[in-house]
Amino acid sequence: MRYYLKIFGCQMNYSDAERISAFLDEYKIKQAASVDEADLVIFVTCGVRQSAEDRVYGQINNISKHYPKKKIILTGCLAHRKDVQRRLKGKVELFCEIKNFPKEIKKILNTKYQILNTKDKLCKDYLQITPKNSNPYTAHIPIMTGCNNFCSYCVVPYARGREYSRPAEDILREIKSLVKKRYKEIFLLGQNVNSYRSVKINFPKLLHKIEKILGNFWLVFLTSHPKDMSDELIEAIAQSKKICEYVSLPAQSGDNEILRKMNRHYTIAHYRKLIKKIKLSFEELRANSDQGKRLALDKLPPAISTDIIVGFPGETKKQFENTAKLMREIKFDMAYINQYSPRPETAAWKLKDNVSKKEKVRRDKLLTEILKKTALENNNKYVGNVIEVLVDKKLGSKLSFGELRANSKQGESLALEPHEYLAHTRTQKKVIFFSNKKIPIGSFQKIKITKAKAFGLVGKIN
């Protein structure tokens, strides 16, 4: 038997898929290279937007029409929804929430397919499964799952249930094992990562413990809620050598009335104050470094990323303007701008979705234009500096073969062909760089930045 994974949505789903793979490996079920070769197709679904949901329906309908013998399992954010189950009845073998995956898939494998695994201990909390990491140098570790916040537009508290934080020992063990295997970048994941709390350990304390793990690796975490962004956490980010200078802090709107309707539990004044504190703590760090204190001198200015929803029910042009104003003022490095999409079960589902599609598109475009300007402004500050990057992949050659031949002297080999690579900075900015030598993928390199673009940098090996 072979399986194929169809993954939609956020990093959490990709991370869950790594645990599904590891679980199926233990049952000697092999991963197929395509749907064609698979007997079992597992959909790890996303319910954040209608478009993501529609793609799942389209693909499942397609598979059941063309490959009626293939079995389909649906997990992720749509699995618990009764309307989804009704709609896909007869096409999906099993609807299963991710937290129940080990138990429920085991039952099916044992009873329906007589596939047994004597190691019963496998049938446990899915977060205790050691994942089959799909990348050899970057790993994503869920440190918590679920959410207690019930933002009025969001499906997560319904799809994943209440917040659950993994024991700190489990997380530390997983990181130590990855560092031993020379992993270079670790992402800590959670829907509301900064409200992590295990026995006597809050999120900043967990970060301090990770900081003490020996090894050269970057640490990134996603995603923080502004109401849980404490001074202790800001200090931990600024002081740490391992925690990257990348802060993902969704504002969602720049208008207090819309924030209230979204049930976000903070005001724009609070959000502004947080950003100011984050930027100031890095500036103070730099100022103090001249006084001979032990500080992380290699730190970059922090990159701030946000999430914004445009066209929330009732959002007036004036309220939208407040969001545009916030974006101009904060000068975000990245913003994930989403056009509001009503989601079943949520509180906002009952509100009239009264901003037209055309207006949502206009607002989205306007914010994207602001983002392009502020991101470029921030990226320009990198030009001329040498910074550390993590190499992701080799791209094509910078020059065409004709140009290379024209540039090389008679009889000279084409050994000077520059290799083109894609990498990223600690601030999660993409960097294209050139080198005459081959560079190992997954290695840290020092790059001199020569050019800035809105969504990336260009440089050469230093």
Q: Which residues lie near ligand SF4 (CB under 6 A)?
A: 147, 149-151, 154, 156-157, 191-192, 225
Q: Are 73 and 40 in contact (CB under 8 A)?
A: yes
In sequence order, the β-bridge partners of residue 248 are: 305
> Tokens 């197709």 correspond to what residue?
41
Residue type, 356: S
- Give the nearer residue to ligand SF4 in terms of CB position, either 150 or 401: 150
Smallest separation, CB 33 to ligand SF4 (Å): 33
What's the CA gap between 127 and 270, in Å, rounded? 34
Residue 89 CB neighbours (<10 A): 9
Smallest separation, CB 85 to ligand SF4 (Å): 22
Quote the radius of gyration of the chain (alpha carbons, Å): 24
Smallest separation, CB 227 to ligand SF4 (Å): 9
- Give the nearer residue to ligand SF4 in terms of CB position, either 211 or 257: 257
85: which 2 tokens? 């189950």
- Give the nearer residue to ligand SF4 in terms of CB position, either 138 or 191: 191
Smallest separation, CB 156 to ligand SF4 (Å): 4
What's the CA gap between 262 and 151, in Å, rounded? 6
- Give the nearer residue to ligand SF4 in terms of CB position, either 48 or 371: 48
Residue 392 CA from chain centroid, whole number: 16
> 235, 249, 252, 229: which is closest to 303 by C-alpha?
249
Smallest separation, CB 221 to ligand SF4 (Å): 14
Peptide bond before residue 223 is cis, with ω within 30 degrees of 0? yes
- Give the nearer residue to ligand SF4 in terms of CB position, either 47 or 302: 47
Residue type, 125: D
What's the CA gap between 303 and 122, in Å, rounded? 40
Smallest separation, CB 150 to ligand SF4 (Å): 6
Smallest separation, CB 224 to ligand SF4 (Å): 9
> 155, 163, 159, 157: which is closest to 348 by C-alpha?
155
Question: Which stretches does DSSP call E strand in 161-314?
Answer: 164-165, 185-189, 197-198, 201-202, 218-222, 246-248, 303-310
What's the CA gap between 323 and 339, in Å, rounded? 13
Smallest separation, CB 185 to ligand SF4 (Å): 23
- Give the nearer residue to ligand SF4 in terms of CB position, either 262 or 375: 262
- Give the nearer residue to ligand SF4 in terms of CB position, either 347 or 441: 347
- Give the nearer residue to ligand SF4 in terms of CB position, either 81 or 242: 81
Q: Are 191 and 160 in contact (CB under 8 A)?
A: yes
- Give the nearer residue to ligand SF4 in terms of CB position, either 337 or 452: 337
295: which 2 tokens? 């500080």
Q: Are 347 and 360 in contact (CB under 8 A)?
A: no
What's the CA gap between 400 and 404, in Å, rounded? 6
Smallest separation, CB 337 to ligand SF4 (Å): 15
- Give the nearer residue to ligand SF4 in terms of CB position, either 71 or 225: 225
Smallest separation, CB 320 to ligand SF4 (Å): 19
